[in-house]
Structures are given as C-alpha cells and as structure tokens.
Chains A and B, each alone.
Chain A
Amino acid sequence: MKYDKINRRMFLQGSGKLALMVPFMGSLLTRTSEAAGVIKPRFIFMSAQNGGQRHEQWFPLTSPTTSMPLYTSHNYHMDPISFNASTGISPIFDSKFNSFISKMNFIKGLDQRFSSFGNHNGAPLLGNVRAAHSTMGFCPSIATIDQLMAYSNNFYPNNGDGYVRSISINPNANTRHSGYYFSNPTTKTGSIVYVPSVQTANAIFRALFDNTSATAVPMGNTPLVDGVLDDYKRIRNSRELSSTEKTKLDEYIDKLAQLEIKLTTDVVPNIPQCRNLVAPPTSGGNEIQNIDLILDMIILAFQCDRSRIATIHFNKVNGRGEGGSMTVGDWHWASHNTTDPLGMQINLDIYKWIADNALYPLINKMNAVVESNGLTMLDNSIVHFATASAHSAHNPKNLPTLLFGSAGGFLKTGNYIDYVNRGATSFGKPAEYGILHNQYLTNIMTAMGLNKSDWNMKNLGFTKNGFPTNAEGYGWYTNVDGSSGNDPRYSKSESQINNPLPGLISASGLTKFV
C-alpha cells in the first residue's frame, strides 16, 4: 500500500475537524496548573544495540585542543564543534546536522567503572549496568535515570498524577527494555523491574489519550477501579498471605490507584488540538514511516503535556537484526570487528541510518515547536543519543555521547568536550581514561530539576553484595561504603559525582546544583 503523508496526518484530526498541525504554537498549551513561560524540560534518550562505534565515525573530525584543568594532573579539552559545510560533522552526522551545531554537545571520555560489558539494551546507559547481562550480577539492578525523573516530584508537577510518566519505545521488539524502576514506584520499594516498551505509534497514542476499546461498549465516565481497589485491599487483609505476597498485592494496589487517577481525572489540557483525537493506525507502514509516526506521538505527548520523558531503543534497523549470530557481516559481528573495514562500514551504515531516520527528524520536529517561554521544544529539552558500547564491543570506557538541547539554558551548547586524561598512566602503564559516566548522569538529572535526594544511592536503599550502599551519588561507581576502592583513576571523579561537569553547565545551570 502506498504511503500517503496526507492520510497519515488525518488521524490527528479531531471530531471538530481541527487539525493538529505539527508544529503548532506551544504557547497555547500551557497547563492551567503552571504559569505561562515555565520551562517544561523533557528528556529523550535514543540508543541502539551492540555498539562498538569507532570514534572517528562519531565525533567531529577535529579533536578539541583548548586545555583546561579538571583535576590535579587531569585536564579536559573543549572547543566549538568543527564541521565541514558539505560533508558535515562526521561520517555519521552529515551536513544536515550543521544547522544544529549551536544546539549540540559532543562529549568524549565518559566511562562506566564496573561494567565489563557492552550494552544489549539501553538501560546500562541510563545507569542500570546490571541489565547488560546476567553475569553483571555483582552490580545489582537499580532504577534508571529516566524513571527517577518519572517518579520525582521535582520533575512532574502535581505529583505526576495523571501523567504518562514515561514513554518507553522499542520499534522492533517488546523486549530489550530501557527503563527500570521499583516494583512499588510511589514508595520506591520492592524489586527493580523493567518498564515495558511499546512498538507502535498506535500503542503510544492509546496510552496517552484513549481510555476505552474502540470495539467495546464504553463504560461511560464511571471507571470501576475504585471497586477493584476495594477488592484488592479486602483480599490483602483477609487472606492468609506471606509478606512477599502481600507486597505483591501492594504493588498492584499502588498501580491501580495511579490508574484510577488517570481514568477519573481530566488530564488532557483543555485545548481543542489535544482532544477528540483519532488514534493512528495500528500498523505504521514501513520501518521509516513507523518511526516517523512514533516521533509524531512523542511531539504530541510533549505538546499536550501528557508526558515529558521518552526512551527509544533500536535493536533492529534497516533490515539488520540485533544479531543472534556472529556471522561475518551481521550487526553483532560488526560490533566485535570495529577495526575490520566491513565491520566499520556496517556500524557506520547502521548508526547513520538511525541518525538520518530517527534522530534528525526528531530534533527537526522539536525545533519547529516554539513554546511559551519563547524557546523551541528542543531548546527546552535534552535529547541524549548514545551507542551501546564504546569504540569496541564490551567496552564501557569512553562512551560516545551526543546531546541536543540545553534544558532551557541549563547546558552550554555548541561544544565538543573531551574529558579523557590524555597521556595518562595507570598502575604504571599508559591508560586512557576519563571521568565517570555516573557524574554525567547526575548532571542530566539536575538539568531536569532533580537533586541528590532523588538519586542518592544511600537514600534509595540499594544494596550490593547484601550490604547497603553508602554512596552519595548515583549508580555503581564506588564500593558500598562509598570509598573509592582501589582504582585511583576515578577517585577524583567519584568525589565530584554530584558536581557540575566543567564546560557543559551554563552559569544559570550552576545555580541549580545544591
């Protein structure tokens, strides 16, 4: 069936025939609970399977040379992003990205300390390195930063009530989930479980707007969740259940309560363009069309303020699966053969395909929406694009990172920042190392309005090897007692774990660190 761009837009028409034009003026879309002009920071994370992306394909071809002190005997380097008018920034980010240079940051030198794995899903890049593989059991599962935002009152207004707290997307599979959070999210208790991913724009739309099945007789405006809640409480308190079983019912009750709020509260802004929308088709056309529809749903969610967080993970692009095999030429093989010309070319093709067909359309759409503070949606957000592992497979050091947006001026933009301690040695040997990826994650959370009470490992009750962690920062970067252990390369970065990253944070951003 031929794809019809106009028909694709038809689903956005409401019953009043008011077409939702993308973009439309964000100033129309201020929630009554928030003053006009208030920045609504959004966080979008985009990643892909396997990784092993060569730096020369990802980063600007000219490395920064301006040297500035980071710690004693550790300088970082930063310069404006270099580019070529016709070939662009790098093999992956070609000339179409040139117009966004002022809104970008390339960051080099972010290291995960404990992970000895590449990442077969997005979760490790969001802080949960355990999700990389079962053998990462020595770093138990923890909540990812997108979910810490999703359940923080410092991120969503009104306790997040009624919001779709995050949109987790994997266009190709309902496995490989990026987000992880407490099974009892409002109390931050229980085990750490995955946040399910959805695959289509239709599924996203229904989570955002649609409360009834199209084929069912509507129940009217009388959701029965309150009665169901009563039943759960009755059974929880009247049956002979173990504490584990009661906890499980409590988790269900907690989520039923959230559902009740969603179903009984008019959470859609009173804006014609956000009401009476018709769901997009269940099938989104070919791969590129499906992604484009998904991106439209994200923009719609942000414009109507139904959600402020989206994660997108790809484990299949342009016909290449994640690679259950190590067949010469498949994606997985390529990630393990990043010095082989064929491996390099495949990796380049895959990431360029994502950059061209997902990343660029996303930032373009976001940049076209002007919001009530006069900035674009892109300016008010952070879009984090990352690869599953660095430079070579199973390598968690020097993770290639690209940001768009400034979270409303929190970040300085337009720079290539390299935190690698050039020419350093470790244990008497040459060793290229940078700073902890965890520090970068705390900076991103700060940009989104969170503070260390939201992510402090000690407060969240995470344990490692059965011992409660005493770490003040986020993620597995120290021993459980908060000490740096035996790796001097990161001892300074550990001590700065909640502090601003030099070169990245703007003057106004610095005021947000507490």
Chain B
Amino acid sequence: MFLCLSFLTACTGGFTAKELGISSESDPIDPNPVGPNPSAFDFATAKNILQTSCVACHKAGGSAAYLPLDLNTEDDFLSAGLVIKGKPLESNLIKRLRHHGAANSNMPPQGIAFTSEDYSNLVGWVQNITSNVTQTIGQFTCAADANPEPDQMLRLKKQEFIAALNSILSLTDPRYVADITSVLSVNSFLDLIPDDYGGDDYNSFDQTISTVHVENYYKSIEAFASLLTQSFGSGDSRAKYIVTKYSAAIGGLSGSTLLNCLLTTKAASESCYKNFIKAFGLASHRKVLTTADIDFYYSKISLAETKATVHRKLITYMLSSPEFIFRLETHGAGEVLTPDYKKLNNFEIASRLSYTFWGDMPDLTLFDMAINGDLTADADFQLALQHIFSVTNQAKIKNKLKNFYADYLLFTKIPQLNAFNTPEFNNFASGENINVSGFNHRTDMINEIYDMFDYYTWQQPSDFSEVIKTRKVFAKTQALAKLYGDVGKIWDGTNNLTYPSSDRAGLLTRVGMHATGEHLTSPIHTGVFILRKIVCDDVGNPPPITEEDLIVNYTPDMTTRQKVHALTVEGKTNCATCHDKFNPFGYALEKYDALGRTHNGGENIYNTDGTIAKKVPVDYTTVVKFAGQDHNISSPEELSDKLAASPLPNICYTKNLFEYFKGRKVDFKNDGCDLLDINKKLSATEGGNMQEAFRSFSSLKGFRFKKVN
C-alpha cells in the first residue's frame, strides 16, 4: 500500500523531481522490487499491458472499435492523443484507468486482468516520455517546435466594459463626471451583465456570449448614450466635452466650429455629424475611423432628427459595435514576423498595452502615441510602456493585479466570519469583536494580503518565494494585530516590523488563509489550496464513495486534524490516494485556529452550547510531499521556508500569472518559451521580481504581433 501511494503521489501529478532537474538520488520512484519497477517504464512493457488488457475491445470489430489502439510503434500510439508526454494525470489513458478494480471503475471492465502494477508501469511509462527540448529551466522548456495557440478576438470582460465606459465618462466636464456604476445603479442593466465565470478556471477565461450578455450590453450602452446626451441647458451635454477632447486628439475640428457642431441648439450638417463620428470613434473603436466607417454610421441617422437624438443614436451604434465590445485585431499593416505572427498596428498595440496592464481602454496619451508615433518601433513602444507604468497610472495597474490575486488566491471564498452565528463560534471568537460595528476583520484580512503583494511588487520588488517566507508585518488594524497576538505590531505603510522567526512565515501563515467562518479549521481545503496554488500539483478525481467510506469512528477528544484523518485516510483506500497528497499541507498549519490565531495551549473542543469541553494538544508535525521529495515538517514556518527554498512557488506563480493574463489554460510545450521568459523575470536568482514578471508580458515574443493559425 505504501509503495502504491508513494508512487502515485510523488510521480503522477504536477512537477516531478525529474521535471525540476532533481538528481536521480532523490527520484521518488521507489526502487524496491516489490513495487513498480522503473526499468519497466518503457513502451515495450506498456504495449504488452495494453495488448493484454485493452486490445480485445479496442480493435476493429471489437466492442470499442470506435477507439482502436495502434500499438505498432510508440509514435503511432502517441499520435492518438491518449497520453500527454510526461503528464500521466493529464492523460486520458491514465485517467480512465485510475480507478481500476473499483466497482464503478471506468476502465478496464471488471473481469479483465489488470493489476496495480500494470497501472503503475503505464503511469511510469507516460511519465518518462519526454519532448524534444532545446532549453530547460525548472519544468518550463522552450521547445524548438513550440507553436502557441492563435490569439483570439476577446470579448471585453464585464469589468473591462464598465472601466471603458467610465474612462469615456471621465473626459467630460468635472461637473458631470460620475462613476457609471453609481449613476446607473438603480434599475440599470449593468448589473444584469453576467459576472465573468471561469468555472474551475480563472474568470478571465470566460468568453461566453449569451443572450443575457448581448441584451444587457446593448441596454447598458443605450442608457449610457442617454446619460452622455442628457441636456444641461443651452445645448450643453456630457458628450460635448468628451467629443471635444477626442476631436483634439485626432486633430479634428476645434473652437467655435466644433462647438457649433456639438451644441444641440445649433444647426446640424453632414460634415458636423461626420466629425462627431470621427471624434467619438476614437473612444468606441479605439482607432481613427476610416471614411467607410464614418459613412456607415452617418447612413444610420437623418438630418431631420434632433441633434440630441442623433448624438444618442450614434453613441449607441458605435459603442455597440464589435470594435468596442470585442478586442478586434484586424487592421495590422500586414507585415509579419513569421508567417504565423502578423504585425499589429499602433492602435492595436495601444489597446493590448492598456487592456493587459490596466484592464481598461487606452487613455488620450496612448491614443496620441498611436496617432503620432510608431508603437511598432522599440523606442516609441518603450515610451508607451513608461506611460503605462507611470505613477499616475499605478492605480489602474494595481487594480488589475488585485483582480488577479483575488482570483488566484480565492479571496472571494474567504467566508463571512461567523457565517452561522453558532454558540461555539461566539465563544471561540469572544473578545475579538467579529461582526461588531466598526470592525471588519474579513476586509482587513484580505487587505493585509493585498498589501503584502503590493509591497513586494512595488516597494521592495521580490519574487514569489519572498511572499511565501516573509516575517514582515502587514496587519494594518489593531483588530487584526490582536489576532496575531501583538496589538503593537501594526504596519503603517513604511515601517519594518517583523514577527519572530519562529512564527508567521509568509502568506500561508497569515490569518486570512485560515478563516473558515466557523470555529473549526479546514485542513483539507488548506491543503488543496497549497497543492493547487503554491506547488501546482493535481488534486486528482474524487472516487465514488461507498457506504464503508462513510463510517467514521469519531471520539469526543479528537482534534480537527484527527477527525479529518479518520474521515479521509484511515482505512479509506478510495479517499486516501488523493487526501494523502494534500491533507499533510493542511496538518502543518494546524498550529493556527479558524481565525488564524496561534492555538493557546491546544485546540478547544466545544460543547454544542458553546462552552469549552476540553482542550486537547494539537499536532502539526507531518510529512509533506513536493518536488518529488518527502519533507519532514515540524512547524508552519518550516513548511514556508522549505517551500520558499524550492523553485516550485515561483514556477507555480508563473503558470498562474500566465493563465490569468492570457485568459486561457497553459500549454506547457507550446507556451514553454513564454513561461521560461516570465519565470526568469520573476526569479530572484535571475535578478527578477514580481514587478518584472508582470512587465515581461510586454516583451514576450508575440506581444506586438497577432499569432494566427
């Protein structure tokens, strides 16, 4: 049993010793001849197993003839796509076989000879298959034949859509500036636009276009157009000021000529409306419109209509255009870097910069650079980048990064404290003023972590491993400092207070990472979080649960750790395979309670009336597995320090950063070159830090080009 588990947990998910370049001495593959035999991890062995157990059905004329197995050569078999080289847990072949032998196993059918050793040998074979590699760092490789996915036309995310409307609105006269979400909040359709939803992935992946999206984008724009053209008397409107600024940016009409055009009290004319279209087009289409574009929108209005109506219609049409709703990249100069990479034009580069780093449309300065400069050239591109990262624009960048951290670290899942208002919790949290007016511990907890990332990104640029191990104090409120046990340790934004080296090492030990909303901790979910988000390993599939699995013999004096272990590991063959991977990470953090406080002499066991029945000692020593090795852990600080000493956190951060900002899953082989570049910019050993890693998106090979098929 131990051999089987150690093999699965150490070898089959995430980054292995081999991927990390760890020497064979520490290779997790157990050489014990009783277990899987690494010498059998080859195609010959795999072929023999597959022929014995699978080909009877998976052949022409067999019951699974739809999926014949071609075992002629290893390449022939691999071409079917059933395995991903070096990634057993991502390979369909292994996924289907994973529950072999269980009553509800997918494959092979019961009655077919297939042993655990067969399975292990197949896993080992898939694990050992490697790609052609030209350069390697950690698990990222820049393959000579890397071929990333084509760039897709992206729908504006809900927040990007709202940000763009606000950016346009911000250009009006200061008297009329307002945040659109407040101006249109009552019965507006903005709130009916679905929030972006990535399911199991980042919300930034969401490109869904439902009827609900389309209807409420349209209605929001219609309402926005009415807002911009609302009359303030004497023909004055918000649109007047906005269009004036865009007109100036593109060198259009000015002075009284422009004013006569914009004032609704003045006579209308074709040239006037066409100038309106041209000017507003910079906002709506993020480019200078062509004559054909201008003529198209002009064809949609009539000189017989009132000027206010025409303006409102034009704004509605133009903001509803796919040029606004989507990030169209179609008007490049046609030049190519390679046949697969088409050169973007100035406006498209400006939009890429602003949406990548701000989550918003270009501002007037970027538009000016696009109109009068050459963003395809390095010199002007660097100027644009300086503007993007200038102090005046840092709030936009920080906001974009905040959204990433919220999604990456699952801040939205930090529960409301005292969610259930139980007697146990009320006693447990007594004296902390949870949910008391004037206190907001949950917000404080989240802000502490934002501040930590902000500090190591901007004030003291560092890599992610520093976040994992730092002792520096970031608690800004007395209430939060009290949870840490020292109300004197408060961060004022500049001081350099630290926790003792034996306490509070890094992100995982901060109170927000432990809040469950109840009086008990959740080592399972803490463990899963670390496995997925810090070491990027695969959790695995929950198996079907049997009645036997549900039988748990809890005793009254069990700690949370002991209960979790009894529920998921002890005698639970089905469950333990995966839980043995992640539970130990959670066990190591059981030093803290469900408000992140250090347990005071043990874990309190509560009666249902909230009184304390007893206090029991907490054990947070454990053995965790990462980077293909077992690590003895005696404290949370040791866990943090050992993680920080490994390349895994930086590698995992790189992967997550890439996925969030690219809006899609990583493809390790084909995105390897980009991942390698970002990881170099992140790693302190390479002189990098989190700020440089973020900036490095602008210098990736494809940033100023559109990758096509």
Contacts and interface: CB of A to CB of B under 8 A. Distances in A.
Interface of A: 114, 116-117, 131, 133-135, 137-138, 165, 174-175, 177, 183, 185, 193-198, 202-203, 206-207, 210-219, 224-225, 227-228, 230-232, 234-236, 239-242, 244-245, 248-249, 251-252, 255-256, 258-259, 262, 279, 282, 319-321, 324-330, 336-340, 392-396, 426-427, 429, 431, 465-467, 479-481, 483, 485-487
B92 A215 contact: no
Nearest to B544: A116
A213 B323 contact: no
A251 B208 CA distance: 10
Contacts of A183: 208-209
Interface stretch (B30-38, B57-65, B352-360): B57-65
Nearest to A232: B322
A425 to B, nearest CB: 12
A115 to B, nearest CB: 9
Contacts of A251: 209
Given A235-B323, A255-B210, A479-B63, 6 more contacts: A134-B201, A183-B208, A196-B194, A242-B150, A259-B211, A339-B552
29 contacts: A138-B92, A165-B211, A193-B208, A194-B208, A203-B192, A206-B189, A216-B222, A225-B218, A227-B317, A244-B152, A249-B322, A251-B209, A258-B211, A259-B214, A279-B187, A321-B419, A324-B525, A325-B524, A327-B516, A327-B594, A328-B560, A330-B518, A336-B567, A340-B550, A392-B549, A394-B544, A479-B64, A481-B66, A487-B109
B708 interface: yes
Interface string B32-56: 0000000000000000000000000
Given A217-B226, A395-B545, A234 B64 contact: no
Interface stretch (B95-103, B445-453, B462-470): B95-103
A133 B540 CA distance: 11
Contacts of B410: 324
Interface of B: 57, 63-67, 81, 92, 95-96, 99, 103-104, 106, 109-111, 150, 152-153, 155, 183-184, 186-189, 191-192, 194-195, 197, 199-201, 207-215, 218-220, 222-223, 226-227, 229-230, 296, 300, 312-313, 316-317, 320-323, 325-326, 328, 330-331, 410, 413, 415, 419-422, 516-518, 520-522, 524-525, 540-547, 549-552, 554, 560, 563-564, 567, 594, 708-709
B328 A235 contact: yes
A265 B506 CA distance: 60
A216 B545 CA distance: 54
B328 A206 contact: no
From A219, A279, A320, A427, residue with most partner B Cβ within 10 Å = A219
B300 A193 contact: no
Contacts of A465: 67, 92
B321 A339 contact: no
Given A224-B316, A328-B563, A252 B209 contact: yes
What are the 3 closest A-B residue pairs judged by CB atoms, nearest first?
A486-B109, A196-B194, A325-B522
B336 to A, nearest CB: 13
Contacts of B106: 114, 116, 138
Contact of A395 (B195, B218, B223, B544): B544
Contacts of B63: 479, 483, 485-486
Contacts of B208: 183, 193-194, 196
A427 B522 contact: no
Nearest to B525: A325
Nearest to B558: A328
B419 to A, nearest CB: 6
Nearest to B99: A116
A32 B64 CA distance: 53
A329 B541 CA distance: 24
A426 B230 CA distance: 73
B415 A326 contact: no
Contact of A133 (B200, B226, B422): B200
A116 B621 CA distance: 33
A327 B525 CA distance: 9
Contacts of A116: 99, 104, 106, 541-544
A185 B209 CA distance: 11
B103 A325 contact: no
B708 A242 contact: yes
A207 B218 contact: no
Contacts of A185: 211
A394 B543 contact: yes
A241 B153 contact: yes
A207 B192 contact: yes
Nearest to B549: A392
Contact of B152 (A228, A245, A339): A245
Contact of B153 (A177, A196, A245): A245
Nearest to A166: B211
Contact of A224 (B317, B328, B524): B317
A197 B213 CA distance: 11
A282 B186 contact: yes
Contact of B223 (A215, A252, A481): A215
A215 B96 CA distance: 55
B109 A320 contact: no
From A114, A252, A262, A338, residue with most partner B Cβ within 10 Å = A252
Contacts of A236: 322
Given A216-B226, A255-B209, A134 B419 contact: no
Contacts of A231: 296, 317, 320-322
A185 to B, nearest CB: 8
Contacts of A210: 187
B564 A392 contact: no
Nearest to A176: B197
A202 B187 CA distance: 8
Given A427-B110, A487-B109, A466 B211 contact: no
Contacts of B191: 203
A328 B397 CA distance: 40
A213 B322 CA distance: 22
Nearest to B420: A319
B48 to A, nearest CB: 21
Given A138-B96, A251-B209, A256-B214, A214 B550 contact: no
From B81, B195, B223, B313, residue with most partner A Cβ within 10 Å = B223
Contact of B64 (A216, A485, A487): A485
B211 A255 contact: yes
A138 B522 CA distance: 30
Contacts of A479: 63-64, 66
Contacts of A138: 92, 95-96, 106
Given A235-B322, A249-B322, A251-B209, A194 B187 contact: no
Given A235-B321, A252-B322, A216 B186 contact: no
From A195, A207, A213, A279, residue with most partner B Cβ within 10 Å = A213
A242 to B, nearest CB: 6
Contacts of B317: 224, 227-228, 231
Contact of B187 (A249, A282, A394, A431): A282
B277 to A, nearest CB: 12
Contacts of A392: 545-547, 549-550
A481 B544 contact: no
A13 B287 CA distance: 48
A219 B305 CA distance: 13
A202 B259 CA distance: 41
A207 B321 CA distance: 22
A420 to B, nearest CB: 15
A290 B542 CA distance: 35
A135 B96 CA distance: 11
B200 A215 contact: no
Given A216-B223, A392-B550, A326 B522 contact: yes
B209 A328 contact: no
A245 B107 CA distance: 38
Contacts of B213: 196, 255
A321 B515 CA distance: 14
Contact of A394 (B421, B524, B545, B552): B545
